[in-house]
Amino acid sequence: MKKGSFLLEAIVYLAVILFLSSVLFKAVIYSYKNYKELVGSLHENTNLLKAIDSLSTDIQLADAKNINWKISEAKIIFKQKDLYISWELEKNNLYRAEWSSDKEKKRNLVATNIKKIRFIVKSNKTEVKSVVIELESYKKFSFEIHLINGTYEAQ
């Protein structure tokens, strides 16, 4: 072995180790950022799916009488037995409220990052026959609930 070759080998090994550790560090940081985004996305999507399921369930339990329904651009109000239920979009947040004549109005935030919601109600003079809900978040969702044999069923 020549003089100084040990020192040169040590410097090369040290440089390689530093390079690999910096690559590993960057990979860990990148993975953490992606993981954080993935978890946030899953959380938002889960809230959205829960909101859709809850809205669908509320409508399936609704009274079919046409006079008990009020629909506007981004709001729907209907009656379930002695309880009024409303769903409305306000500043990209979807809210659900419920109240009755002897109960004060409770309003809850159900989902965030909702770009648009639209309710389309098909009815005759006495009954609401179906409700189409178009909801847009990161993706566009559309589902329809029909009155079949006196009860609403989702499709």
d(CA 66, CA 134): 21
Whether residue 108 is contained in a domain is answered as yes
Whether residue 10 is contained in a domain is answered as no
Whether residue 109 is contained in a domain is answered as yes
Which amino acid appears at position 119 of this protein?
F
Whether residue 125 is contained in a domain is answered as yes
* Residue pair 95/88 in contact by the 8 Å Cβ criterion: yes
Give Cα separations from 79 to 63, 67, 98, 124 (angstroms). Answer: 6, 9, 9, 17
* Lowest pLDDT segment from 31-35, 60-64, 145-149, 151-155: 151-155
Whether residue 26 is contained in a domain is answered as no
Whether residue 29 is contained in a domain is answered as no
Count of domains forming the chain: 1
- Residue 48: domain span: 38-154
- Per-residue pLDDT, averaged over 104-111, amounts to 86
- Per-residue pLDDT, averaged over 34-49, amounts to 74
pTM exceeds 0.95 for this model: no
Q: How many CB atoms within 10 Å of residue 51?
A: 21
Interval 109-155: pLDDT, tens: 888 888 888 888 888 878 888 888 888 877 787 777 776 666 666 66
Whether residue 33 is contained in a domain is answered as no
d(CA 119, CA 50): 18
- Per-residue pLDDT, averaged over 35-48, amounts to 73
CA nearest to 108, candidates 95, 93, 89 = 95
Strand order in the sheet with 75-80: 70-72, 75-80, 83-90, 93-100, 103-111
